[in-house]
Structure 1
Amino acid sequence: MGTLIHYGLLVPSFGHDLSDYPHPHPAVLTHLAEKSTYATDAGKETSIAFDAFSPHVRTYSDANYLYVESDGMPHHPMMVGITAWQQQVPIPQPYTGNNAWRIPLKPVPAKKPLSARFHFFRGAIALAANGIPIFNPIKNDGKTDTFLAGELDEYGGHSGRADDYHYHISPLHLQKILGERLPVAYALDGYPIFGLTEADGSAVRNLDAFNGHIGPDGDYHYHSSKSYPYLNGGFHGEVQERDGQVDPQPRAQGVRPYTRPLRGAKITGWK
């Protein structure tokens, strides 16, 4: 029988608790969604989904990029449900200033799109609207699906070797705040990642190998899915790859040596 790892109070079962986040009034979200249709400034348009999580997430922009700052800590329970624990714990990260995330405001289709099935096994490939990075669903061994391996909590995340919390699948739970009309994340090539349906609630059709397509507005975007690749399965847009990850991107800062995975354990509570 596997060992039960319990930190803090026992939490046998709960839904997607986002109570610590500010919950914008539905009218505010409607305004934000409509604003995305009529915005003329690319920075303001791209920031709309992130703005829903202010003040925990802060944004600013220049002519080329939207910069996103956060402490890397989501305001929902973490780690519960993991059955293959890496013995890492979530701690705040300094994703600010020169170490902030940056999203291209004018994404450019790549001449040679790169698949996340064979590239980008290190670092983030997208950034969730709540300021949490999203890594490739395939871990750094290039073959293991972290979701199927039991390494993720109930929100699709865990802590990495620097004790940095990040997701490995699309953060669909954020739709509780964002609704369906706003993206739940942005890929690091600048293209938005929407949920399981189109913004108007209609079914998604004709996705490419990267879970993306050109929408009714003529713009390319990605979609989430319940099975691999879960979000953008690569990059339709231009990115630079260095040492197996998108470059540049912020660096997480650990405070101790990383530890070995602990198999056969399930985290049932965390505080």
Structure 2
Amino acid sequence: MMRVGFVAFALCLAGPAAAHEDHCAAVMASVAEAGFGGSVTVTCEGGHAVIRSDTYPDHEKMTGIVATNEQVPVPADYGAPILLEPVLGQSPLTRDAALGVAVNGVPIYDYTGGGEMSQADLAHHQAQHDTLLTQQLDVCGGHAGRGDDYHYHVTPTCMIAAMENREENPIIGWAFDGFPIYGDRNPDGSAIGAGDLDVCNGQVDEVFGYRYHTSAEAPYIVQCLMGEVADFDRLPRVRPLEAADGGGAAPGEPPRGGVEDLVFTEDALGNRSMDYTYQGEGYFIRYAPAAQEGCFDYTTRTVTNGGAVQVGTYCR
């Protein structure tokens, strides 16, 4: 298997066409060397390396969330386009959706729940919107969003722990502008100095031109994109589930004050259940694959719906 380091070295020496191919090889190698090649595919076409997955990681999900939005993770077909010829831009780009994707195919958002921060917001920590501080995230650094898609808002600790090459300070993801994302340390294993990271949580890279990092302190992960993205407004989003008989599922509303003992369980047949307690009463969101492909049969009792038990079939 070709190592990412050798691919990266080639990027320094190659011309434009070869660099395009080597960037594709670097993206492919980052997924394969992490051990996610069985669940994530990478194809290079139209100037992008498309990382495709179902956004549903093998690691633990949802455990430890207090400020739940009463949404659950549901597999979703997701193709993340990574530019093969990244170019640094003049100003940071932000959006209220994913800014990149981890090597296990899970989307990466900024640390806020609302997203799309202004230039002034980027310069100052938005504590009231911090998904980590407000206890919206599970023990792995992610949660399910409005699209019922699982995604990360801070360092994806459980994914990193499962990576086969985790001891090598590897690439843990890619931003949509084409630049790689690393963990809390430099690729050579050295510590990142105070002030080394810019407003987007990145710094200059001698191989790729630029790279992003995770960090123990806010903003924890990619906060914005420093590269140019011509089709920025058309980057992918995971749409909410829709009722099989038409219409969309109403978004969950965070129960005031948070919930207790939230646990997400699943079995090999695809039966999944999120159970939790609110003000002494039990609530749940449960679903299983329906007869129609891409659809799921739900039974729920949520705070959002006043504790009424509801059933329905919802589809991707």
Do residues 166 (structure 1) and 159 (structure 2) align?
A: no
Residues 33 and 181 of structure 1 are in contact (CA less than 8 Å); yes or no, is this contact kept in structure 2? no
Do residues 131 (structure 1) and 105 (structure 2) align?
A: yes
Counterpart amino acid of 1:251?
V
Report the TM-score when normalising by structure 2.
0.67
Do residues 152 (structure 1) and 137 (structure 2) align?
A: yes
Counterpart in the other structure of 2:4: 33
Give the 5 Å matches for 1:184-203: 184-203=172-191
**Equivalent residue in structure 2 for 1:182, among 170, 175, 188:** 170
What is the rounded CA distance, in whole Å, between the counterparts of 1:149 and 1:67 in structure 2? 33
Give the 5 Å matches for 1:250-265: 250-255=237-242, 256-262=249-255, 263-265=257-259
Do residues 212 (structure 1) and 202 (structure 2) align?
A: yes
Residues 8 and 207 of structure 2 are in contact (CA less than 8 Å); yes or no, is this contact kept in structure 1? no
**Equivalent residue in structure 2 for 1:43, among 24, 31, 38:** 24
**Equivalent residue in structure 2 for 1:238, among 212, 228, 239:** 228
Residues 172 and 195 of structure 1 are in contact (CA less than 8 Å); yes or no, is this contact kept in structure 2? no
SS at match of 1:84: coil
Report the TM-score when normalising by structure 1.
0.77
SS at match of 2:203: strand
How much is the aligned-residue C-alpha RMSD, in angstroms? 2.2
Residues 63 and 263 of structure 2 are in contact (CA less than 8 Å); yes or no, is this contact kept in structure 1? yes
Alignment deviations for residues 18-66 of structure 1 (CA, whole Å, 9 cap, x no partner): xxxxxxxxxx6xx533443355522111222222301110110025100
Q: Percent same amino acid at aligned positions?
A: 31
Alignment deviations for residues 68-97 of structure 1 (CA, whole Å, 9 cap, x no partner): 1111101101000001111101111022xx
Q: Which runs of 4+ in 1 moved over 4 A?
A: none
Structure 2 CA distance for partners of 1:171 and 1:43, relative to 1, 3 Å: same
Residues 71 and 92 of structure 1 are in contact (CA less than 8 Å); yes or no, is this contact kept in structure 2? yes
Counterpart in the other structure of 1:102: 81
Alignment deviations for residues 110-130 of structure 1 (CA, whole Å, 9 cap, x no partner): 12233xxxx42x110121110
Structure 2 CA distance for partners of 1:231 and 1:241, relative to 1, 3 Å: farther
Counterpart amino acid of 1:57?
V
What is the rounded CA distance, in whole Å, between the counterparts of 1:218 and 1:35 in structure 2? 13
Counterpart in the other structure of 2:70: 87
Counterpart in the other structure of 2:288: none
**Equivalent residue in structure 2 for 1:66, among 44, 49, 72:** 49
SS at match of 2:236: coil
What is the rounded CA distance, in whole Å, between the counterparts of 1:181 and 1:172 in structure 2? 13
- Count of paired positions: 230
Greater radius of gyration (CA) = 2
Give the superposition deviation at 1:252: 3.0
What is the rounded CA distance, in whole Å, between the counterparts of 1:214 and 1:72 in structure 2? 29
**Equivalent residue in structure 2 for 1:226, among 195, 216, 240:** 216
Give the superposition deviation at 1:224: 0.9
